[in-house]
Amino acid sequence: MGHARPSLSRKLPLDTDNDLIIVNNSLTPAVGEITHLSGRLLDAHGAPIKNAVIEIWQVDNTGTYLQERDQKSAGGFDPDFQGFGRFETGSNGEYRFRTIKPVPYPTRPAPHIHFMVGIKGRGPWTTQLYVKGHPGNQRDRIYRLIGEAKAQEAVTADFMPVKDSRLGELTARFDIVHDPTAIA
């Protein structure tokens, strides 16, 4: 559900690293609340999964996905936001991204970040991360389809201020559990 990741609908951006707020060597950062997003990819028993590829994509501060930019006039999106990132998990299953806090847009009142997880020998799968306590969550059709509160909590995270950050940066932690026996 939701928007296709950029690589499924169009070419990937030239910059596909894990820092979404700086495109290539630009000096101009993306507009939005800078967020250090991290977590671990774990199996159903809590063991880390290494060498998996985690991809994320999300709208910019104007509510525009990367693949929608060619449909908007100049100034209708943030050209300094990468919109897509990729990271390979380390030996402890850890991943890290620097992005912006997600924002809602007209068809999705719940701000979210899309995740695609690729594990060698298994098909890729997707999930979404939501902002804990955001009032748009309960108005969002996809968030409500997740079901019970415990399942919804598993895909939400606090976006908390980074202590002593002069830039007002945030941090969010989202551990992803891969359970191949779970119903998709």
Q: Does domain 6-175 have CATH number 2.60.130.10?
A: yes
Percent of the chain surpassing pLDDT 70: 88
User: What integer pLDDT is reported at residue 125 of this predicted model?
Assistant: 92
Res. 14: pLDDT tops 90 = no
Structure tokens at 19: 């820092």
CA angle 66, 76, 97 (to 5 degrees): 40
Mean pLDDT for the chain overall: 88
User: What integer pLDDT is reported at residue 26 of this predicted model?
Assistant: 80
User: What integer pLDDT is reported at residue 60 of this predicted model?
Assistant: 95
Res. 65: pLDDT tops 60 = yes
Q: Return the bridge partners of 168, or none.
A: none
User: What integer pLDDT is reported at residue 84 of this predicted model?
Assistant: 93
Q: What's the pLDDT tens digit per position in 42-53?
A: 999 999 999 999
Structure tokens at 113: 């970040």
C-alpha span between 59 and 44 (Å, rounded) = 30
C-alpha span between 18 and 36 (Å, rounded) = 10
User: What integer pLDDT is reported at residue 144 of this predicted model?
Assistant: 95
Where b means 16+ CB within 10 Å and e means fewer, 63-90 reads bbbbbbbeeeeeeebbebbbbbbbbebe
Structure letter (DSSP) for residue 14: S
Res. 11: pLDDT tops 80 = no
Structure letter (DSSP) for residue 11: P
Q: What's the pLDDT tens digit per position in 95-116?
A: 999 999 999 999 999 999 999 9
What is the chain's Cα-based Rg?
A: 16
